[in-house]
Chain A
Amino acid sequence: MSSAVAGTSTRRVVIAITALFVLAPILLITYQSFLTAPFFDPKAQLSLWAYEFVFNEPDFWRALGTTAMLAVGMTAISVPLGALLAFLMTRTDMPGRSVLEPLLLVPIFLSPLVLAFGYVVTIGPVGFITVWWKQYLGTPFWDIYSFSSLVLIAGLTHAPHVYLYAASALRSLPGDLEEAARVTGAKPGRVAMDVSLPMITPALLFSGVLIFFLGFEVFGLPLILGDPQGLLVLSTYLYKLTNKLGVPSYQLMAVVVMVIIAVALPLVYMQRMLLRTAQRFIAVRGKAVRTNLVALRAWRWPAFLLIAGWFAGTVMLPMMGLVLRSFVSSWGLGINLLEVLTLDNYVELFEDSEVVSAIINSVAIATIGGALTIACYTIIGLAQHRWNSAWVRFADYIVMLPRAMPGIVAGLAIFWVFLFTKPLAPLRTTLFAVWVAYTLVWLAYGLRLVQSALMQVAPELEEAARVTGAGVGRAMRDVTIPLIKHGMLAAWLLIMLIFVREYSTAVYLLGPGTEVIGSLVVSRWAGGAVDIVTCLSCINVALISLGLLVALRLGVKLHG
């Protein structure tokens, strides 16, 4: 397009830098996986040794199998549950829908790690409920550290992802289809099974793949709930591998990372394709027409109780446990709750300088760092904006790559990049390294937020500036950017929430000066500091809730 002649060199530079930013860590990992020792070791040689070693490890295969089973199990629970939630919320006259609506999305923004802590302190072996149960009812029937508990909890906490996509697909379904079924004599349940849900199959298929993919990525839940029984998934196996041979075994970690990326990448591309079909399905149907809701009659309250029960079990139960645990000095069988209530945990918390700087760092990286991240994403988005070029299609694929790197992998990769690149080395122990890793991990997500704001700007508005005499850059500055301000603000708020929630990405970067709440609780939990961990978790949840309230207040759509 001739209109883009000026400014193409800037666009190319931005896309080239983006590509470097994404590809450098991946190339370094690939290179490392073919070495016999860490890349900084002068004795390191090219070989397939690391692959042979890992592929001959029974533990690796066990972790891979566990991961696959976890992903399948999660999908089997989340998809039907999420679809049911979506149907009840969008298509029926169930009471309390407006109250439940924002609550349903809460688990998406809560850290799974925090939820896991919550479960441990409530229904773990010495959790509040377990202890009371033992006192009054005998041996509890559950075991929090079993594989089935892990699958169940992962499934319940991931249902909102399915709900999001299923609900937006259901909202765009014309209601007369359901009414037609009612008229011919179908009950609400039949209508859902025979009409509504089949019509949103593309959305359900997409969310199914998404959940399966997230199942490969989960780190927090298996780390907390699987570890005590020696239950390893790929991400926790990777985490445990750090010192397998007594020295840092980077080559083995790189191989595991390669396996994770090899599994995740096809899933990412599958999601991309499925999302397109799902959206086409929606677009064809056009705007939703307000139609009558399916009357549940006698099922109204049971339906409400089902959702309320899910929310209580998935969010309230672990949260209340966490809060309570953060206010007691110790807990176990035979301890009287009233005698151990205390504020000491919080007082101690603020005397621990590492904890204090973790809180400050988390807030700083979310607010200031988040703003910088959105600025970067906006620059990348603008570089691609209204430019019909092979460079843009290339960039489209490049930005998908980080999606295939779970946070812990991206954090590790950035850690290595900073170690490998001499001029960057001094920055490795600063918050900058953490910010870089966060920006990399959330590139695809954040860029989509910015791009969808850019798409809303009618092309004539920019062209009108061009014909009156503005160059490409000037038109962007004077027309495009002012018009996407609100979208950028919304994106910033969402990125803030996500950055506060992050825990796995900073695990490998944790050190003096780079501690954030997420990575610090991982390391403190390993050290058994339950008091500090529960307090920090509560602070983390409080920060996220604050951000959520502000976002809701400003009318930010919580999903893209």
Chain B
Amino acid sequence: MADLAVDDLRIRLGGNEILKGVSLTLRRGEVAALLGPSGSGKTTLLRAVAGLEQPYAGTITVGGATVFDGAAGINQPTEARGLGFVFQSYALWPHRTVAENVAYSLKLRGVAADVQRDTVQKTLDSLGLGKLGHRFPHELSGGQQQRVAIARALVYGPTVVLLDEPLSNLDAKLREEARAFLKELIERENLAALMVTHDQAEALAIANRILLLNGGVVEQAGTPQEMYNAPETLFVAEFMGSNNHIEGKIMGMSDGRASIRIGEHLLDGQARCASDKIGQDGSAVIRLEGVHVADGSKGGQNHVKLDLVTSMFLGHTWEHLFRGPGMTIRAHHDGPLSSGAHWLHLPADRVWIF
């Protein structure tokens, strides 16, 4: 049974429909990442689950108990939902020490003072904050503050934790460390985590499941591999990874394959659109790493010859920019290339036609 289930949740804020029917389920030991462009309603969804925003329809159950049901008029207040919440700004109380911040939820639950002290110390220790209990939040680094915020959200043992862009205030290096640490912690504590993020690389790395929100609805949900390798819509394809996007006219379609005309080239690819689009404008999308530089080739199906415009060294690979009539293509390649024209292979199983 799901530890967190949201069904057809709808929210209106200031007269605008923000969530237009969002559903999701989440089990212990799972991390679900909420991904989506700015303003798509990620924070709103998280806050609604916590009871900080008021939906007008749908249901939310936490650990089997219904905490919100628009039709039945059930609406548990925030404090009764027993969730962990990590705020983007961390929201550490500036007038309390680290230990007092963490101990607060235990105090509310009437836990004896010595048990409180031990539990807090254990939690701080497990997050590598053992010696910082007496400090005030402003005396900590960004990474330490983030861990205090997590400690505060976990100390009373909630099964469901909600995290709103918990890593976005950290610098790039720290963020990578923190994301591994966070994933390990969630698995170790066997939590059900719902985490908002802006960063698709972060979502791919940390999540068991990704929900891509767009305009208040779930555009696509699935494992990171599904989301990355089998996008169902142009929006999902474009949102995940780095892409080449080529406009053309859809010429034919059969057996899940489609072909698209771009200038004098005819590209084959996987059909991601209905057959009534034949004869109309469409787009071909291929990831940068899907394009092969095929020097020595004599051309052929899905091969194009383009001029190298510029090259960039990215560390683990090179990125090259090619241009020809009607098309500009970026490609990853493991070495530098000589200037002039090059053959590129766009394998049909890596090209999606929308």
Contact = CB atoms under 8 A, between A and B. Distances in A.
A460 B89 contact: yes
B91 A460 contact: yes
A461 B152 contact: no
Contact of B83 (A465, A467, A471, A482): A467
A460 B105 contact: no
A421 B77 CA distance: 41
A3 interface: yes
B311 interface: no
Interface in B69-113: 75, 77-79, 81-85, 87-89, 91-95, 104-105, 108-109
A3 B52 contact: yes
Which residue, A5, A466, A467, A471, has most C-beta atoms of chain B within 10 A?
A467
A463 B85 CA distance: 9
Interface in A453-479: 458, 460-461, 463-472, 474, 478-479
B25 interface: no
A469 to B, nearest CB: 5
Contacts of B93: 461, 464-465, 479, 483
Contacts of B152: 464, 468
Contacts, number: 83
A466 B79 CA distance: 5
A255 B178 CA distance: 72
Interface residues on A, range: 20 to 34
A467 B85 contact: yes
A471 B105 CA distance: 12
Contact of A2 (B54, B91, B105): B54
A6 interface: yes
B53 interface: yes
A2 B104 contact: no
B78 A466 contact: yes
Contacts of B53: 1-2
B51 interface: yes
A463 B91 contact: yes
B91 A458 contact: yes
Interface in A1-17: 1-3, 5-6
A486 to B, nearest CB: 10
B105 A463 contact: no
A558 to B, nearest CB: 25
A466 B81 CA distance: 10
Contacts of A466: 51-52, 77-79
Contact of A5 (B50, B75, B87): B75
B322 interface: no
A472 B95 CA distance: 19
Contacts of B94: 461, 483
Nearest to B79: A469
B95 A482 contact: yes
B344 to A, nearest CB: 48
Contacts of A471: 77, 79
Given A460-B87, A460-B91, A464-B91, A469 B52 contact: no
Contacts of B105: 468-469
Interface in A346-382: none
A383 to B, nearest CB: 18
Contacts of A478: 104
Given A458-B89, A461-B91, A2 B108 contact: no
B89 A469 contact: no
Interface in B92-144: 92-95, 104-105, 108-109
Contacts of B84: 467
B156 interface: yes
Contacts of A6: 77, 79
Contacts of B95: 482-483
B79 A2 contact: no
Contacts of B156: 468-469
Contact of A464 (B51, B77, B85): B85
Which residue, B54, B78, B81, has most C-beta atoms of chain A within 10 A?
B78
Interface string A482-506: 1100000000000000000000000
Contacts of B77: 2-3, 5-6, 466, 471-472
A465 B105 CA distance: 8
Interface string A389-400: 000000000000
B87 A469 contact: no
Contact of B51 (A3, A460, A479): A3
Contacts of A5: 75, 77
Contact of A470 (B87, B89, B108): B108
Contacts of B78: 2-3, 463, 466-467
Contacts of A463: 50, 52, 78, 85, 87, 91
A466 B94 CA distance: 16
Nearest to A471: B79
Contacts of B92: 464
Contacts of A1: 52-54
Given A458-B89, A463-B87, A469 B54 contact: no
A469 B94 CA distance: 19
19 contacts: A2-B51, A2-B52, A2-B54, A2-B75, A3-B51, A461-B91, A463-B87, A463-B91, A465-B93, A466-B52, A466-B78, A467-B52, A467-B85, A468-B105, A469-B79, A469-B109, A469-B156, A472-B77, A479-B93
Question: 8 tightest A-B contacts by CB?
Answer: A460-B91, A468-B105, A467-B85, A466-B78, A464-B91, A2-B54, A460-B87, A469-B108
Given A3-B77, A468-B104, 10 more contacts: A5-B75, A460-B87, A463-B91, A466-B51, A466-B52, A467-B79, A467-B153, A468-B79, A469-B79, A478-B104
